[in-house]
Amino acid sequence: MSAEDDDPTSPKDGEWPEVRKAEKLARGAALKWASGVFYRANKLEGLEQYQVRETQRNSSIQSRIKSTVQSYLEGVSMALEQLHSAITDVLHVQKELGSVRRDLASSVNSFQTLQRIQEAFEILMSSAFFSPPLPIVHRLLSETLELLQNKHLLEAHARLMDLENLRDDILFQLHNHNLLSPLHLASVESYFGGLLELNDTMAQHLWHIVGHSTKLVSEDPALFVSAVRIIEREESIDGALLLRAQPPGFLPPGRPKCWRQKFFQVIQDSIVAAHFQTMPSSTQDRHLTRHLASLQSNILAELHVVKDLMVQCCPPHYNILMAFATMYHQSLAKHLDHILTWDLDKQEIFALLHWAVHVYPRSVSQLASIAEWMQKTLEMEFKEWFNEEEPESDYQGCFQTSLPNIIMKMLDENIRVASLLSDTLREKMCNMTLRELETVLGSLYDDLVKFGTEHQQEPTASKSYAPYLLSTLNNCLALSTSIPALYTGGASSLEPFKVPTSLDIALEKAQKKACRLLLEEMLVDLKYLLSETEHLVRSQYLRAFLQKRMVCRHTEERRQMARRMLQDASQFKELFCNLGLEENKQTFKVIADLQELISLKDHSILSLEVLGFVLKYPDVSDDHISMLLDLRGDISKEVRNNVLEIMAQNPQVLPDNYEHIFSNILVPPPEPPFCLGKSKCA
C-alpha cells in the first residue's frame, strides 16, 4: 500500500476534481478551527464533547443530504416517467399525423373533383345567367313546334338554331375546361329537354317535303325552297363545327347532321317507291309492254319537271338534273334486272330488247348480266383448283379446264341475240363483252395471286398446284385464239378484227403470273434437291473420313488435318451458298466440330469436349468416337476408356424431328491385333 493510498487527501479514481478541491478546503478549515480551539491544554478535556456534538451534527447533515437526494431521485424518476409518457404521446401523435397525411394524399383527387365540380357549377351558373330561364326555354320549344305545324319552316328553324347555339356554347365551355362528363352532358340536355325531339320533327317535315319535291315545285315551290335553304344552313353549321373540332375533338349531340346527303337519299327512295316497287303479282297481270310504256311516260314527265322547275329552286352545285337522271338510270337498271328473272316468253323478250334499244339504249349492258355470269364461272374455276384430282387433258395431253368454252359460249349467245335485232345493238354488245372479258381476266389474275399465297402458306391445300397453273396458261392461250373468231361477222365483217390493247395486256398479265408461279414452284423443288445434295455430300465426306484407315503420327499432322477439314467445310459452304442454299440450312458445321476434337491438345478436357459433341450430335456412337480417337494417334488406353465410360454414363435420346448425321455411317470393324499378313493368311 503506497503513501498516496494512505493519504486521505489524495485523489481517488472516479472522483470529480471539484469534490477533491472542496474536501481539501474543508480539511483546512477544520484544522484551522481545531488549532484555534485546542491550542490550550485545558481545552482538550472537552474534546470528547466536541466529538459527540460533531458526530451528531454530521449525522444530521447526512440525514438531510439523504433526504434531499431521495427527494431529488423521486423527482428524477417522476420526470423520467413523464418523459416516457411524452415520448409515447409523441409517437402516437406522429402515427396519427402519418394517417392524416395519407388520408390527405388519398383525398387529393376528391379535392380536385370538388374543384372541377365547382368550376363546372360556376360555368353552368354563368351560362344560365346568359341563357333564358327554364320556363322560357320550354316556351320557345313549344312555339317552334307550333311554327313547324303551321309550315313556317324558316322561322321555326331560326328559333331551333338559337336554342342549339345556347346549348352548344355551354357544352363547348365545359369541354374546353375538361369538365364535360356524362353527368354534365345529361344535365345540359335535361335543361334543354325536347330539343333533340324538336330537331327530329323538323327533319321529318323536311324529308316529307323532299319526298314530294316533283309535285311541290309545280304546286308550292316556296315550301320546297324553304326546305333547301334550311338544309344549306345546316350544312354550313356542320362545316363550321367540324372545323372547330379539328383536331378531332368535341362535337355537339346530333352533329354532323349531313342533311344534304340525306336530301339526295330521300329523293332516291321516293323514285324507287313511286315507279319501281309496284310490281305485277302474276304472269297474266304483267302486261310488260304496257308497264314499260308507263315507265317511259312517267320518267320523262318527271325529268321535264326537274329540268323546267326544280333546277331553278336548287343551288347550282346540286346539279339536280344530272342527279335525277343518274338515280333513274340506277333504279331502272335494277328494275330491268329483276324483270329478267321472270319466266319470259319470246314475245316478251323481244319487247324488252326492243324497248332497251329504241327507248333506253344505256340499259343494254345491264340486260345481259354477263358480268355476273362470268364472275360465277370464275368462282367455280377457283374452287376446282383445290381439288385433289388433276384437271382434264386435251387430245395432246395438255391440261385444260372448261373455263374458255363456257365464256366463249356465253359471249357468242349474247352477240347472236343482239345481231337479230340490229347491227347497232350487236356492236354495243361486242364492246360491252370485251370490257367484261377484260374485267374477268383481271379477276383471274387476282385469283392466281391468292392461289399462290395460299399454296405458300399451306402447300398441301392444293394437291395439283402445278397442273392447274398449266391449265390456266392453256386457257389463256385458248381465249386469245378464240376472241378474234368470236367477233368476226355482221355488217363490218370485211374489216379484220383487232383485239383491244387493254385486253391483250390483261391476257399477258394473267399468263405471266401463272408462269411466274410455275417458276417459283420449280425453284422450290430445286432447293429441295439442293438440300438433299448437301446432305449427301456431308454424309459421304464423314463416311470417307471415319472409314479411312489413317493415323496422325505427331502434332503437326493433327494440325494439318484440322486445317484441311476447316478448308473443306468452308469450300462446301461457299459452293452451296452460290447454288442458292441458305447458310442456316447447311449442315457442314459438323466437320468444323470434328476438327476441334482432332486439334485438341489438352487430354484432360478431352472427355468434356467429347461429351459436348455427343450432346450436339446425339446419334454418334461409341464406334464413331473410337475411330476418331484412333485418328488422333496420341490417345492412351486409359483416356479412351475414360471417354467411353463417360459416354455410357450419359446416354442420349434423339429429339423429335432430329436430322440424322452419324446413324447411316458404318464404322468398319477393327483388324485382328495379331495377324500374319494377308498374303500368308490367304
pLDDT at position 281 over 60: no
Same domain membership, residue 528 and residue 400: yes
**pLDDT of 211:** 92
pLDDT digits (tens, 9 = 90+) for 166-209: 777 777 777 666 656 566 566 666 666 677 888 888 899 999 99
- The structural domain count of the chain equals 5
Tell whether 453 and 596 lie within a shared domain.
no
User: Last residue of a domain, which of 522, 547, 572?
Assistant: 547
Q: Which of 106, 126, 141 is the last residue of a domain?
A: 106
Same-domain pairing of 520 and 384? yes
Q: Is the pLDDT of residue 96 over 60?
A: yes
Domain's final residue, options 501, 525, 547: 547
Considering the chain, what percentage of its residues have pLDDT values greater than 70?
Answer: 80
Does 102 lie in the same domain as 134? no
Residue 296 belongs to some domain of the structure: no
Identify the pLDDT of residue 178. Answer: 63
Average pLDDT of 227-231? 93
* Mean pLDDT confidence for 276-296: 68
Q: What gap in Å lies between CA 16 and CA 12, rounded to an integer?
A: 9
Residue type, 357: V
pLDDT value for 226: 92
Fill in the DSSP letter of residue 344.
-
Q: What is the pLDDT of residues 670-681, one digit of tens each?
A: 655 544 444 433
Nearest to 134 by CA among 163, 107, 91: 163
pLDDT of residue 365: 46
What pLDDT, in 10s, does the model give residues 597-640? 888 888 888 888 888 888 888 988 888 888 888 888 888 888 88
What number is the average pLDDT over the span 289-312? 88
Tell whether 518 and 616 lie within a shared domain: no
Grid coordinates standing for 210?
323532299
More confident residue, 455 or 656: 455
Note whether 161 and 17 are same-domain residues. Answer: no
Which residue range forms the structural domain that includes residue 411? Answer: 369-547
In a domain, 572, yes or no: yes
Same domain assignment for residues 430 and 374: yes
Instruction: Let me know whether 163 and 234 are in one domain.
Output: yes
Residue 578 has what pLDDT? Answer: 81
pLDDT tens digit sequence for 242-256: 887 665 667 777 788
Task: Please give the angle made by the CA atoms of 322, 324 and 329, to the nearest 5 degrees.
Answer: 95
Q: What pLDDT score does 671 carry?
A: 59
pLDDT value at position 344?
75
Residue 129 confidence class, pLDDT cut points 50, 70, 90 = very low
pLDDT recorded at residue 426: 75
For residue 300, tell me if it sits in a domain. Answer: no
Write out the DSSP string of 389-442: SPPPB-TTS-B--SHHHHHHHHHHHHHHHHHHH-HHHHHHHHHHHHHHHHHHHH
91 pLDDT more than 50: yes
Asked, for residue 213, whether it belongs to a domain, the answer is yes
- Distance of alpha carbon 386 from alpha carbon 364, whole angstroms: 36
Residues 102 and 142 in one domain: no
Question: In residues, how long is the chain?
Answer: 682
Q: Which three cell numbers stand for residue 373?
A: 355470269
pLDDT band at 230 (very low <50, low <70, confident <90, very high): very high
More confident position, 433 or 442: 442
Give me the chain's average pLDDT, please. Answer: 79
Residue 233 lies in a domain: yes
Mean pLDDT of 255-264: 89
Per cent of the chain over pLDDT 90 is 9
Could you give the C-alpha distances from 402 to 102, 298, 407, in angstroms and in order? 82, 46, 9
Q: Across the chain, which distance is largest between two alpha carbons, in Å? A: 185
Asked whether residue 151 is domain-assigned, the answer is: yes
Rounded Cα distance, 611 and 591, in Å: 16
**Using 50, 70 and 90 to split pLDDT, how confident is the model at 267?**
very high
| Least confident among 270-284, 396-410, 556-570 | 270-284
Verdict on whether the full-model pTM lies above 0.85: no
